[in-house]
Amino acid sequence: MADDPILDYRRRRSSNISNREVYETYIFKFPMFTIDNILDFEELYKMYKSEGSLELNDISKLLKHLNFKYTSQEVIKVFNEIDVNKNGKIEFLEFLMERLVYLLFPLNPHPLTL
């Protein structure tokens, strides 16, 4: 694994790394990231997704529900940061990796700090 796991994930995810490899390489190597965490994040993801994944409008609703007040431009920036494969949708693994980043770097002022 590279020195920076987040950059390594982004590089490898853009080259079609498999979902299983994401779990094995990144997610399950962090003891604070439990199956219960994954299930909680999956429940939150399912509450807001439309059409099978989170779209820009869904992220906007999620942020509003969590009482974050962001401009449209800021919501777009958050969305683009999480959308690693740049397909215009946030799939569950992208959402999950965003949560992992927050658990690893809790002082990081990322807008989706749930």
Which tens digits make up the pLDDT trace of 50-90? 888 999 999 999 888 878 788 899 889 888 888 888 899 99
Q: Is the pLDDT reported for residue 45 higher than 70?
A: yes
Q: What is the pLDDT of residue 56?
A: 93
> What are the boundaries of each domain within the chain?
32-104
Considering the chain, what is the average pLDDT of its residues? 75
Closest CA to 14 of 84, 108, 90, 110: 84
Give the type of residue at 20: R
Three-state secondary structure readout of 9-33: HHHHHCCCCCHHHHHHHCHHHCCCC
Decide: pTM greater than 0.95. no
Beta strand extents in 1-114 (DSSP E only): none
Q: Does domain 32-104 have CATH number 1.10.238.10?
A: yes
- Quote the tokens at residue 1: 């694994």
- Quote the tokens at residue 104: 């690893």
Categorize the per-residue pLDDT at 47 as very low, low, confident or very high, splitting at 50, 70 and 90: very high
Question: How many residues are there in the chain?
Answer: 114
Q: Is the pLDDT reported for residue 32 higher than 50?
A: yes
Per-residue model confidence as pLDDT tens digits over 33-42: 677 878 888 8
Q: Is the pLDDT reported for residue 49 higher than 80?
A: yes
